[in-house]
Structure 1
Amino acid sequence: MKKLNLGLLSASLYVSFQIFANILSTKIAILPLLNLAVDGGTIIYPFTFTLRDFVHKTWGKKNSRQVVVIAGLLNLVMVLLFIAVAALPADPTWPYQEAFEKILLPIWRITIGSIVAQIIAELIDTEIFSMIYKKVGDMTAVLASNGIALVVDSILFSLIAFYGAMPFDIVLQIIISNILIKFVITLISIPSIKLVPRKVDMNEM
């Protein structure tokens, strides 16, 4: 039996979680106990930062940057496919065309906000992780890089997607709740970096 390709698995999970998160982000939900507004993608999106770190450890800095950009482009392709399929005439016996369009057709500001924030934040994550990993190791590198990147991502996404379309206090609430939730999930995911051994030379980190 061949050994599991951890780099390939990490990259696949990273891209998948990016796409899942962008689909879920079209819903704004209220957290029951905290009474905070949050987009649905926030539930799984924080894991992408640690998954990117997995890719970094197994495939190196250069390849992890490429995976980040590829994920952003695939999100754009997904949106264009939704538009193309929605434009096809619906079968008269199929009553869900309107529901399909309402759920899956993108709100362009959310789409652009997701992709722009994702690429910028994850590339920042890459640079910070690389710099800190070479000095102090992976646990500190994950905490610092993810912590900074999730703040950048939350602010960029919320401002691009919602500023002007919602009252600013709601936008601010989304930013704060995104940061808090992402940070908590990041803390949970940090120890998992120890499960992935470094597969590249230090100069490739």
Structure 2
Amino acid sequence: MPREWTSVGRVWTNGECFLALDGGLLTHWRGLSDATYESVVIGLGPEVTSVPVGPGSAAFVATDPEVADEGWLEVFRSDGAVALVQTAPEDEAAYGRAVGTALRQPEDDDELGDVVQVPSGRLVVLSAALDGVGSDSPPLRAAAPGPVPDVWPDPDEVGEAAALVLDLGPGAYRLRVRWLTEFDGGAFARWTLTEDRPA
């Protein structure tokens, strides 16, 4: 049965990768001040789905340059799952339809990635090029339900959010990745974190 998704926010990428990590690990990530992004992250291949962060790990969201060099990652919630969608519709006025197309694609063919622990229940979607805390970190914006815009949101009007906080409840989440997928009207990539429940 298809998931019911609720839009909870968006983050802007200039082509850099993102992390989805437990809020308790933010103090351990120094992507900018320790040059971890330049020295480590940029060299990671598409097969990498998690990176170590302090005593834990973060899901690795390597945005797909074949979809777009920059743009929004739309973030969604469902029961036991989070999805990040990167899309490039041929017509910016069909943005909402393109995002909906990405969400309706079944997960069966997605690449199976690593499991990350979220013991605090607080998942943060953070630009890997920045720090988790301090002067080189972005403001944290709380996820909030809202509509998916019909037209591609102008970052000058919306504001470029570089970190989003979701309260999920403690658990373990497995990353699934669907790379460049073309459809009639554009292309998308999708990263889904699904609660990894014991069989």
Please give the range of the TM-score, normalised by the shorter of the 2 chains: under 0.3
More strand by share: 2
TM-score (norm 2): 0.25
TM-score (norm 1): 0.25
Q: Larger radius of gyration, structure 1 or 2?
A: 1
